[in-house]
Amino acid sequence: MSESQSSAEAVFVKRVQDLVLNFENLPKSYIYDEGGPGFKHALSPSEGIPVIDLDQIIPPITSQNELAKLKEALNSWGCFQAINHGMTSSFMDKVREISKQFFELPKEEKEKYARGPNDIEGYGNDTTFIESQKLDWADRLYLKVHPQDKRKFKFWPEIPNDFRDTIVEYTEKIRLLNEVICKAMAKSLNLEEDCFLNEYGDNDEIIMRLNYYPPCPMADQVLGVKPHADGSTITFLLQDKEVEGLQVLKDNLWYKVPIISDALLVNVGDQIEILSNGNFLSPIHRVVTNTEKERLTIAMFCIPDIEKEIKPVEKLVNESRPVLYRPVKNYTEIFFTYYQQGKRPIEASKI
């Protein structure tokens, strides 16, 4: 093994939870020399990230006003805080709690679910693609949670013992919310309500990522997650109840995403930007770290059948808005290849 390979491997096996205990030897790949206070002092948007009341857009009620708000939110921010989504606050707490309990397990127990060097699924830290890559200050558990026959239970924790049932229940709720939001997005653009849903094909998937961010002594030079846009159609993020960290880029400025009790943050990903021919924008976002407090979030990425060709829906292509994206297939693969080269994956599709 060459020296560079062995040092990449050394970073690969170190969990961030362990790095905290030996912080003096923090590998350089975690440090942004240009960091500075900008990481922490993002703007708080005066009008706030848009809040959408799902009660107003789920049939039988369809408020045209709320649909217009949704369209505007996804056109300008690419995200919104969803309220009245039907999940109880105690269920959301339960999802957070079992996730937290997993990261609190002894190291040996967690390592039973470790992903191998070539796996995407499982427990681990940021995936190292190239030696020069910056690393995220986060440990993760990455699982394909839908469809049922693609679940690899060898990566699903057995402790806490209600982990599996809770995640299965949460997945089902997110699957239904994805349908509701896809329909509302289509209606907001005057399209037939199944227009986006039909593009998912028969074998759509949901990937879950538990993100655990330990406290970080160098919060102004280390990022929880580097700037990126999601490769999903829609991402649902259950935020930590108390600790903020997520920031969204809009008009070249970073804005904090505040915590709204019981809200779910919904953002569209690159595949909706393509399907909507750029009417909805997949926002670039990043996560900052916190010197004192740990933070835990649960991201659910909804993605279409990987065999399905994704391209702008015909009704959104016209003289004033010509086609802006080329067809793509298996976006997850494109995503990792481009990401690896430090490019935005959506460039693979932009005309």
Ligand X SMILES: O=C(O)CCC(=O)C(=O)O
Q: 240 to 259, contacts with ligand X by CB under 6 A?
A: 245-246
Q: Decide whether 170 or 186 has the Cβ nearer to Fe ion.
A: 170
Among 81, 282, 297, 349, binds ligand X (CB under 6 A): 297
Closest CA to 94 of 206, 169, 178, 172: 169
Among 52, 206, 287, 303, binds ligand X (CB under 6 A): 287
Our finding on whether 268 is near ligand X (CB under 6 A) is no
Our finding on whether 57 is near ligand X (CB under 6 A) is no
Q: Decide whether 297 or 349 has the Cβ nearer to ligand X.
A: 297
C-alpha 236/C-alpha 256 separation (Å) is: 17
DSSP code of residue 304: -
Our finding on whether 230 is near ligand X (CB under 6 A) is yes
Q: Name the residue with tokens 């990522």.
A: 209
Smallest distance, Å, CB 240 to ligand X? 8
Smallest distance, Å, CB 61 to Fe ion? 31
C-alpha 139/C-alpha 104 separation (Å) is: 12
Our finding on whether 78 is near ligand X (CB under 6 A) is no
DSSP code of residue 216: -
69 binds, among Fe ion, ligand X, none (CB under 5 to 8 A by kind): none
Q: Decide whether 7 or 332 has the Cβ nearer to ligand X.
A: 332
Q: How far is CA 52 from CA 58, 59, 123, 173, in A?
A: 11, 15, 33, 18
Say which residues have a Cβ less than 8 Å from residue 46's Cβ, sequence separation at least 6: none
Smallest distance, Å, CB 3 to ligand X? 32
Our finding on whether 134 is near ligand X (CB under 6 A) is no
248 binds, among ligand X, Fe ion, none (CB under 5 to 8 A by kind): none
245 binds, among Fe ion, ligand X, none (CB under 5 to 8 A by kind): ligand X
Q: Decide whether 71 or 256 has the Cβ nearer to ligand X.
A: 256
DSSP string, 106-155: -HHHHHTTBPPTT-SSEEEEPPP-STT----S-EEEEEEEESGGG--GGG
Q: 180 to 219, contacts with ligand X by CB under 6 A?
A: 209, 211
C-alpha 85/C-alpha 281 separation (Å) is: 22
Our finding on whether 299 is near ligand X (CB under 6 A) is yes
Q: Kindly list the residues in this chain that would bind Fe ion in the complex (CB under 5 A).
A: 230
Our finding on whether 285 is near ligand X (CB under 6 A) is yes
Q: Closest CB to Fe ion belongs to which residue?
A: 230
Our finding on whether 99 is near ligand X (CB under 6 A) is no
Q: Decide whether 195 or 266 has the Cβ nearer to ligand X.
A: 266
Closest CA to 279 of 329, 232, 233, 317: 317
66 binds, among ligand X, Fe ion, none (CB under 5 to 8 A by kind): none
Smallest distance, Å, CB 287 to ligand X? 5
Closest CA to 78 of 335, 298, 255: 255
Asked whether 344 and 338 are in contact (CB, 8 A), the reply is yes
Say which residues have a Cβ less than 8 Å from residue 329's Cβ, sequence separation at least 6: 306, 307, 308, 309, 310
Our finding on whether 293 is near ligand X (CB under 6 A) is no
Q: Decide whether 67 or 272 has the Cβ nearer to ligand X.
A: 272
C-alpha 257/C-alpha 35 separation (Å) is: 20
**Which residues here bind ligand X, judged by CB under 6 A?**
209, 211, 225, 230, 237, 245-246, 285, 287, 297, 299
